[in-house]
Structure 1
Amino acid sequence: MTETINGEKTALILLGCPQVPVQTSMALYLIHGLKQRGIRPVVAGTAAARKLMEVADPDRYYLGEMTDIDAAIDEITGKARDFDLCFVFIHNDSGVAYAGTMAYISRARLYALLFGEHAEELAGEIEFPCEVIAAKAVHNPMPLKRRLDEVMQWAVLKR
């Protein structure tokens, strides 16, 4: 059961450790794009990732619901909640593991956003069904933004 509220699609955005600078700006950019398309974003992340998002958007112009990453996974595993779309930000092996978990437990259309110095190598580790969006982006978000824009042109039309 995906969570659609008043006909509005929902998207889960998973944020791991915010070690790579582009994650926060790209997450806010993604939230903006989803909201423009009438999709309600829910951010699930580590405590540090959530704090960075709150500081970047203090008036919560873009941010809506936020939750702990493990709590979100527990809700999906327990069938209490699911989403139409899921975007997992990945810059290390644990990010790949989170995306793999989502591929297994959720019915959401899954997007793996790989970034950082080793984005292409990490993309090679993905052996589960998802849309891979990879760019070597560490400090400059533009390579990942361009790849995301390509996908977002049609992402919301499927499902």
Structure 2
Amino acid sequence: MPEEPSQRTALLVMGCPKVPVQTSLVLYLAHRMKKAGIRTIIAGTPSARQLIRVADPDGHYTMEMKDLDTTIAALSEGKLTVTDSYVFVHNDAGISYAATIQFLTDRPVTAVIFGEEAEEVSHEITFPCKIIAEPATHNPMPLKHRLEEAAPWDA
């Protein structure tokens, strides 16, 4: 049975912000989750969080932002519980984050894979998760459409 939006906590995980589409897609997904009444936590590297802070200085789209390593520790220690996780992946480090989050939460993880090697990266995932992949680097629209098709805010 699906959980009520008010009982859901979604974790959006951002790694290195080298590929431009990550920031806009995280903001878009955070906005849709917030609008649906889902508590949303953005966890990321310091530079990834700074890009979000600059893009959304008044917090219109974001609810909570946390350091990625601190968030992983909180999940490991049982101090944080999430119902859904969306890990933005464009390299091996992103795959490691997705695997770690899946292991620690034992809940559904969606790997949102982007960048020029999205297809190759998606084939490297060997653990259970949903994969949304597009070779997007600068234009977020193909992945935005894929996220809308999945509509995780309605799940």
Task: Tell me whether the two structures share a fold, i.e. TM-score over 0.5.
Answer: yes
Tell me the TM-score range normalised by the shorter chain. Answer: over 0.9
Give structure 2 stretches of 5+ with no counterpart. Answer: none
Quote the RMSD (CA, aligned, Å): 1.6
Alignment TM-score, normalising by the size of structure 1: 0.91
Per-residue deviation at 1:22?
0.4
Number of residue pairs aligned between Structure 1 and Structure 2 = 152
Per-residue deviation at 1:63?
1.5
Q: Which residue of 2 aligns with 1:68?
A: 67
Q: What does residue range 9-158 of structure 1 map to in structure 2 within 5 Å?
A: 9-152=8-151, 156-157=154-155
Q: Distance in 1 between the 2:8 and 2:51 partners? A: 25
Following TM superposition, the consecutive aligned residue runs of length 4 or more in structure 1 with deviations greater than 3 angstroms are: none
Residues 34 and 63 in structure 2, CA contact (< 8 A), matched pair in contact too? no
Q: Distance in 2 between the 1:22 and 1:99 partners? A: 18
Q: Which amino acid aligns with 2:52?
A: M
Per-residue deviation at 1:124?
0.2
* Identity level (%): 47
Q: Distance in 2 between the 1:38 and 1:18 partners? A: 27
Q: Which amino acid aligns with 2:12?
A: I
Per-residue deviation at 1:37?
1.6
Alignment TM-score, normalising by the size of structure 2: 0.93
Give structure 1 stretches of 5+ with no counterpart. Answer: none
SS in 2 for 1:67: strand
